[in-house]
Amino acid sequence: MQNILTVDVEDWYQGNARIPYQDAWRFESRIEKSVDQVLGILDEYETQATFFILGHLAESHGQVVKQIQNHGHEIATHGYSHQLIFKQKPAEFAEELYRSIALCEDLTGRAVMGHRASNWSVTSQSLWALDLLKKAGLRYDSSVYPVRTGYFGISGRSREPHILDNGLIEVPPSTVSVANYTIPFAGGFFLRTLPYGLVEWAVRRVNAEGHPAVVYLHPWELDQDQPKNLPVPFIDQFIHYHNLDTTEAKLRRLCSQFSFGTVMETIAL
């Protein structure tokens, strides 16, 4: 079965809502090197992925977006500013959404079909965003974590790709269901924390249920030389830096054991 590989493209300091995008000038940019690293690995395994691009990054590093496209990957949007959607007004979200889509489309000459929210911030307080995504002409969204954590997610939502009432296709990050518990494993902190054997077991289990696994990562999760002084509270630092040295090996093992593709080709939209 073909699974789905996704990459949220943001620089190492851009994934935390406590750091406003206007503060980018304070930080060393490491995006080119870390995207090169991801592209090199995916080339090795002849694997295509969907790259959700942060609009602010597309504005400052357009050549990175073109390079990703030149390697044959799908370009989608990760919004513009990485602010949490449930803290935004609908009009503000819509303005940033249209801006981020236009930035990617101008760089690639191709229509953007999908969206992923900053920090999975389509929650029960911001479900209105799904109608705005549809209105913007997108085909799919990949933002609703089907388990409630301290930061994001909605318990009880469908765990598999599914069509919403408004026609938009929702492609949730994969979770595994064990004894009535829904357990995340497919990316970020969860992928870095869990032993590879458990991740492999979970992908097989999702596939056995008849669904593609939806895996996600960030280029900075492969960058072990990044500064270790992200100016955020301790718990956020822990989540950001924990087990960074395991990401590359896990990505390589996933790519060697399983088949992955983009959202668009896997869901056959």
Compare residues 35 and 258 and give the one whose CB is closer to Zn ion. Answer: 35
Nearer to Zn ion, 73 or 258 (CB): 73
Residue 142 vs 175, nearer CB to Zn ion = 142
Token digits of residue 24:
């980018």
Q: How far is the CB of 6 from Zn ion (least distance, A)?
A: 11
CB of 79: closest distance to Zn ion in angstroms?
8
Interface with Zn ion by CB under 5 A: which range of 8-16, 124-132, 191-199, 230-238? 8-16
- Closest to Zn ion by CB, 9 vs 194, is 9
For Zn ion, the closer of residues 120 and 258 by Cβ is 120
The CB-of-118 to Zn ion minimum distance in angstroms stands at 5
Sign of the Cα pseudo-torsion (114, 116, 117, 120, in order):
positive
If you ran DSSP here, which 8-state letter would residue 187 be given? B
Q: DSSP per residue over 209-235, as a string?
A: TT---EEEE-GGGG-TTS-S--SS-HH
* Part of the chain binding Zn ion (CB under 5 A), chosen from 7-15, 27-35, 67-75, 258-266: 7-15
Picking from 104, 122, 125, the residue whose alpha carbon sits closest to that of residue 113 is: 104
Give the SS3 label for residue 67.
Answer: helix
Instruction: Give the nearest residue (CB) to Zn ion.
Output: 8
Q: How far apart are CA 132 and CA 89, in angstroms?
A: 12
Cβ neighbours around 224 below 10 Å, total: 11
Is residue 221 a contact point for Zn ion (CB under 5 A)?
no
Residues 156-215 that bind Zn ion (CB under 5 A): none
Which residues ranging from 11 to 70 are in contact with Zn ion (CB under 5 A)?
A: 15
Token match 């969204």: residue? Answer: 141
Tell me the C-alpha distance between 201 and 176, whole Å: 9
Applying CB under 5 A, among 4, 6, 8, 203 the residue interacting with Zn ion is: 8
Binding positions for Zn ion, rule: CB under 5 A: 8, 10, 15
